[in-house]
Homo-oligomer: A and B are copies of this chain.
Amino acid sequence: MKHFTLSDIQQMDRKFRMNFVQSLPGFKTANLIGTKDLKGQENLAIFSSVMHIGSEPPLLAIKMRPVHVARHTWENIQETGFFTLNYIQPSMLPNAHQTSANFEKPISEFDACGLTPRYSSDFFAPYVAESTVQIGLKLAETHTITANGVILLIGEVQEVWMEETGLAEDGHLDMEKLNALAISGPDRYHTTQFFKELPYGKLM
């Protein structure tokens, strides 16, 4: 086995370390976050760090580094309280990935990246019409990580839109039918195959 100490990691070249440490948590899902400011300016940015926090109430956590490309997203969420999560499918690449470029207002990443905003009558922030799963969230609370200033947004799910065929009988979302992509590290995309479903462990 190869061994890396904390000191080895600290001495890695910056880009190498970023790839290495961002790979450690393994797979996550590629999402676009859609927001709009109070003047109506839309914003779209790629995020891959989303975590389930609870089901009752339905809560998700999103990691936000309030600099560079995430800045407009964070400003809009603070201003309005609403944002959307939209799955990225293979057919949406490389356009969706281009939202990580540093566009300045008044350019909308929807236009710049050839993606279509879609509105639900009950919800303020824009969805991405091309996405098979579209989740509307309301900011519930925030936590700031002392060690590095990263912000964790906790959002309460307000509504979910999804392709009908993607819902399994037991409530699971069928990731393969929804063409969901897994990401590892900062920029590696993977397709998936269903392998196995295992019931919650019973004492052997």
Chain A residues in the interface with B (C-beta under 8 A): 1-6, 9-10, 12-31, 46, 49-61, 63, 69, 85, 87, 90, 93-94, 97-103, 112-113, 120, 122, 133-135, 140-141, 143, 145-148, 150, 152, 154, 156-164, 167-168, 170-173, 175-176, 180-182, 184-204
How many whole Å from A88's CB to the nearest CB in chain B? 10
In the bound complex, do residue A159 and residue B4 qualify as a contact, i.e. CB atoms below 8 Å apart? yes
In the bound complex, do residue A97 and residue B26 qualify as a contact, i.e. CB atoms below 8 Å apart? no
Which of A90, A156, A188 has the most chain B CB atoms closer than 10 A to its own CB? A188
Chain B residues contacting A50 (CB-CB under 8 Å) are: 25-26
Chain B residues contacting A90 (CB-CB under 8 Å) are: 195
With A51-B51, A201-B101 already in contact, the answer to whether A58 and B9 are too (CB < 8 A) is yes
In the bound complex, do residue A51 and residue B63 qualify as a contact, i.e. CB atoms below 8 Å apart? yes
Chain B residues contacting A186 (CB-CB under 8 Å) are: 200
CA distance A4 to B134 in the complex (A): 11
CA distance A1 to B160 in the complex (A): 10
In the bound complex, do residue B16 and residue A160 qualify as a contact, i.e. CB atoms below 8 Å apart? no
In the bound complex, do residue A49 and residue B51 qualify as a contact, i.e. CB atoms below 8 Å apart? yes
In the bound complex, do residue B184 and residue A175 qualify as a contact, i.e. CB atoms below 8 Å apart? yes
In the bound complex, do residue B143 and residue A143 qualify as a contact, i.e. CB atoms below 8 Å apart? yes
Which of A13, A14, A162 has the most chain B CB atoms closer than 10 A to its own CB? A162
CA distance A14 to B95 in the complex (A): 38
CA distance A204 to B102 in the complex (A): 10
In the bound complex, do residue A175 and residue B6 qualify as a contact, i.e. CB atoms below 8 Å apart? no
Q: List 15 A-B contacts (CB under 8 A).
A: A1-B162, A5-B122, A22-B52, A23-B172, A24-B60, A24-B85, A51-B63, A54-B147, A61-B63, A93-B196, A140-B147, A143-B143, A175-B190, A181-B195, A189-B194
Chain B residues contacting A182 (CB-CB under 8 Å) are: 26-27, 182, 190, 192
